[in-house]
Structure 1
C-alpha cells in the first residue's frame, strides 16, 4: 500500500532515537550544469563539496523541480502537491499576492507530519510562500512604495509564516526583493546588507545542528539558501575566486556552505544518522548569471539541456538532486529514474512510519526504494512540468509532451513569437534519443500526442497523480493558456 493511499496521520509522543535526522538543502536558481560532477565536460565552476556528496551518496540524473520557478516548487516540496492545483496558476508570489499564504492553514505539510512523529522542525533561509507583516496594533505594514520594496520595521510580527505551517523555528527572509529584512520565528529582528545573508544562514545552520545534536529527538531542517539567485552577492572572500565572474563566485560560495553543513554534522557526531537531500528549486537564471558570458568561457549552466529557469524545456526544471544517508544509500551511485521534488512527503512518511490521508500529498511518491537500491524502480512514471507562464508539459517514460509552441518562459523562442512564426502548438520529444529537445516529432506520433494529452487532463481533473480518492483543485485549470 503506497503512502498516498493511507488514511490518517498518527501522532507519536517521541520518535525513536534511531530515526534519522533529515536535512533538506535547497539552492535557489542553481542550474543542473552548475554542479561539476553533473557536467564534467561543459561545467567549469569547481564544486568540490557537492561533488563529495555525490561520491558519498546517490546522484539522480533525471530529477525535476515541481516548476521552473521558485514559489510553486517550494509549495510542492512542503506539501507533496503540485502548486498549479492552488490559486497560483503562473509566476511567483509578488506584490499584494505575497501577503496571503499559499499553503492553506489546514493543509498537511512535511514539517507538520514529522512533528507528529516526534521530530523538531526548523526552516533556515528563504520562505517565499506568502505571509504578512503587521505592527503592534495588528495593522498591515506597508511593503512597497510603487515598485520599490520597503523594509518591514524591526519588531513587526509575521502571524501567518512558517511557524504557522508546521515549523518549530524560523530564521531567514521572505524572498530576494526583501532579503534585508531578517525574521526570527514570527518577528522581524534586524536589517542587514544582502551580502551578509548567506554567511548568516550558514552560521545559524551550524548552531542549530550543534544544539539539536545534544537532544534525543531527531530533527528536520529545511535549509533554503538565497544563492546563487540574484542579487548575486559573493562576499569579499569569494569575489574573483572563479575567474569567471560574480555568478560563478557565488556558486563556489554556495558549495562552500554545503561543505560547512556536512562538517557541522560530522563535528557533532550525527552525520551517520542524518539523511541529507541536496537540490535546487529550478534551473539557472540565465540573465542574472550572465549566461552568455559564462558559455563564452566554456561553462554551460544547463549542461546539455535546452533552456533555463522559467522554461518548460529541460533547463527550466531538470535540477541537481543528490541524496546521502550513510549505511542506507549506496555511495557513489547513480540513478536515472524519473523523480520530482514533490516526493519528499511520501518518502519521509515511509521512513518514519507516518500515514498520509487522501487529502494530502496528492502528487508525492515514495522514492525510498530508489534511495536504498540504485536498481530499483517505483510507480512514479509520470511527472507534470509547469513554466513561469503556466504552460504545461507531461513526461511519461521517455516521452515528453509540451502544450505550447516555444519555451513557455523567458528563453527564445518565446511562445507569442513562435505562434507568429507558425510553429506547432505542441512539442513532442523522445528524451532518450533527443534530450536536447531539438527534434519535435509530434507530427509522427499523433496518437501518442492524444494519449499523453488525455493523461495530463486526467491527472489535472482527478486532483492527484498518486493512487487514492479523487480530490479537488483549488481553482479551474486551463492546460493550454494560448493567450500567454
Structure 2
C-alpha cells in the first residue's frame, strides 16, 4: 500500500507525464513535415477531380483531394514559370522583383536578392530541415569565364566553368540540401547541380525538333537524360523522405519538370491516357504524386505531413489542345486561354492540401487563394510571424485547412500577371484586366487583334467564368474602383497590412501605362 506522500508523488509523476505528452503532441502538430509538389504547366482541367469531362483519371492526385482540401478558386501569381516560383518562395508578387515580364534562361543570374526572406529561410529558423529538388528556374550565378550580356536569352550560350560551384542558388536561400537544374527542361545547360556543385562537366548536344519532345541545343551532362529526369528526381525525393523520417520536421520543395516540354512519358505510361503523349505525361505526373505519398506512408509519417500539390500555371499550347479535344479533353476546363495568358486558363490551377493529422475529412472550398499565400500559411503553421519586409502579398489560408471560422474573404483582392507583364485584379466575382487582349499567346494578342478594342476588360466570373462578355462599358464605377485598388497595391509595394515597401526596378516597368487611362 502506498503511503499518502508516495501516492501524491505517483499522481504528480503521472500528471507531469500526461502534461508533457499533451505538450509534445501540441508541438508536433504545430510542426508538421511540409512537402510542396509543384507541377510544371499542368492545367486546371488535367486533374480529373477538377474536370468531370477529363479524358483520363488521375487517381493519386484525386485521392489527395478526397482526403484533404480541394481549392476550386486557386491561382498562380503569374501565368508562366519563373515569376510564379518567385512568388511561391517569397510570398511577394513576382512583378515587384526586377523581372517585369517573361522568364529567365538556364544561364540567368539569381532573381532572388541576398536579403529576401524565402520559405526555406523561414522554416530553417524554426529548426526545419529544408530541401529543394527539381526545376529551380529562378536564376543562379554560374562561374562565367567571361561576361556575357545576353545570358537571359533562351538561346544564350555563355562560357561557364562547370568545375566551380554556383552561387546565389538554393543553398544561399535557405535550402540545406538541393539537387536539380537551372531552368526548364527545354533550356540548356542540361546539368544537375547538387549542393551548389555541378555533378558533371557537360558537353554539347544537338537539339530535338520534335514538337512535343522539343528541347533547345545546348550543353548536357553525361548523367543527364531528358527522358529519365522525372523518375530520377522522384527517386531523389523519396530518398530524402526516407533519410529525414527520423529527423523531423522537414520541408521538401519538389519542383517537377513535367508535364512541361519536352513531353517525354516513359514507356510504362505511353498510351495510358487514350488521349495523346501529353495526357500520358500527365498520368506520369500523377504516378509521381503516388510515389511520394507512398514513401511518406511507408515511413509512417504521412499523417503528420502537410502535402501541397499545385501547378505553376496553366497548360501550354504545346500540349496540343486540338488533339486533346478529339479525345474530349480540355486542359483549361471551362476557362479561357492557357499558359502565358492573363485569362483564367493561364493562372487558375489545381491546388490541393492534404494533412491527415489536422484535416479530418476531405472537403471543397471556393475561397480565392494564390500561390503567394503558401508563405504566410507556412509561417502560421510553424507558429511564427513574417517580418514587415517579407511576404508582402501573402495571406494565410490555415483557417481554411482547419475548417475554422474566419473573416471571409481571406484576401481583399488578388493580382494576376501575364508573360508580357499585363495585369489583372480580382475582387469578389469581378475581374479587371488592364489590357485589351490576352497579354500572352492566345487571341487577341497582335497589334491588329487589339485594334478597336476597349483599353480594359471587366468580367463577372460568377456569371461568366469563360470571360466572354466584357462589361467594361456597363460598369464604369466598378472599373474605377478596381483600377484604384490596383494602383494602391503597386504604389505601396504590398497588398497586406503594413508599412509601404519599395518595389524593385521601378524604372524598368513599361506595363504601367494603364495608370494614365
Alignment partner of 1:103 is 2:132: no
Cα shift readout 1:175-234 (whole Å, capped 9, x = no counterpart): 12136311111011042111110000110011000000021x300110000000001111
Which residue in 2 is equivalent to 1:207? 239
CA contact (8 A) 1:170 1:186 kept: yes
CA offsets per residue over residues 325-383 of structure 1, 9 Å max, x none? 11322432000011100001111111111121111100010111111117753431300
* Residue 170 of structure 2, aligned match among 162, 182, 188: 162
Give matches, 1:16-165, under 5 Å: 16-18=27-29, 19-41=31-53, 43-94=54-105, 98-134=107-143, 147=155, 155-165=163-173
C-alpha displacement of 1:416: 2.2
User: Which residue does 1:262 correspond to in 2?
Assistant: 293
Q: Hey, what does 2:320 align to over in structure 1?
A: 290
Aligned position for 2:385: 355
Cα deviation per residue 1:63-115 (whole Å; 9 max; x = unaligned)?
000100010000000000001011110011137xx532111110111100100
Per the normalisation by structure 1, the TM-score is: 0.91
Three-state SS of the structure 2 residue aligned to 1:319 is strand
Is the Cα–Cα contact under 8 Å of residues 403 and 480 in structure 1 kept in the other structure?
no
CA contact (8 A) 2:444 2:450 kept: no
Give the whole-Å Cα distance in 2 for the aligned partners of 1:145 and 1:122. 29
Using a 3 Å threshold, how does the CA distance of structure 1 residues 239 and 187 change in structure 2: closer, same or farther?
same
Residue number in structure 2 paired with 1:6 = none
Q: Tell me if structure 2 keeps the 8 A contact 1:58–1:330.
A: no
The residue number in structure 1 matching 2:210 is none
Alignment of 1:472 onto 2:480: no
Question: Following superposition of structure 1 onto structure 2, how do residues 73-472 of structure 1 map, counting pairs within 5 Å?
Answer: 73-94=84-105, 98-134=107-143, 147=155, 155-176=163-184, 177-178=187-188, 180-190=190-200, 191=221, 192-215=224-247, 217-286=248-317, 288-373=318-403, 376=406, 377-414=408-445, 416-420=447-451, 422-472=452-502
Q: Structure 1: state its 5+ residue gaps.
A: 1-14
Q: Bigger shift: 247-256 or 369-378?
A: 369-378
Change (3 A) 1:57 1:146: closer
| Cα displacement (A) at 1:427 | 0.4
Please give the secondary structure, in 2, of the residue aligned with 1:178. coil
**Are the equivalent residues in 2 in contact too, given 1:151–1:181 (CA < 8 A)?**
no
Superposed CA RMSD in Å reads: 2.2
- Describe the shift of the 1:300–1:120 C-alpha distance in structure 2 as closer, same or farther (beyond 3 A): same
CA contact (8 A) 2:133 2:179 kept: yes
Secondary structure in 2 aligned to 1:456?
helix
TM-score w.r.t. length of structure 2: 0.85
Residues 428 and 16 from structure 1, CA distance in 2 versus in 1: closer, same or farther, beyond 3 angstroms? same
* Conserved? CA contact 1:404–1:415, under 8 Å: no
